[in-house]
Amino acid sequence: MTKQALWTGRILTGLAVAFLAFDLTIKLLQLPAAEQATTQLGFPHGTLFALGVTQLVCLILYLVPRTAVVGAVLWTGYLGGAIATHLRTGGPAFNLVFPLIVAALLWGGLYLRDGRARAVIAPRNLAPSI
């Protein structure tokens, strides 16, 4: 990978991590706006902190190079749950698209900065061998 690709990967990762760190922080601090938004989505009162801890674990796993792929997989599941929740509640289209953008930033950044991730994601010759 070129130096430019590595830096592009770092920037993509930084953008995703900045948003996710902000989101988990407001959940861990249990800010009233976050609590209100969470209950409006149908989650029981008091689940906000647990969601924040879940996000923190995913973020730590994603930021540690050795466990980054596992962290990306867990984030993908978490963000998929966010999409499903917004589909169920009939939220605006932005709330459906934004988790996809964050997931693309996570995976794109990881792909560009981590050779092991490229090995997992890279297309292989799918022709059957005889």
Region 27-44: mean pLDDT is: 93
The pair of structure tokens assigned to 110 is: 């990881």
Neighbours of 28 (CB within 10 A): 16
Give the three-state DSSP class for 125.
Answer: coil
* Dist. CA 76–CA 68, nearest whole Å: 12
Verdict on whether the full-model pTM lies above 0.85: yes
**Residue 125 above 60 pLDDT?**
no
* Dist. CA 48–CA 43, nearest whole Å: 8
**Residue 128 above 70 pLDDT?**
no
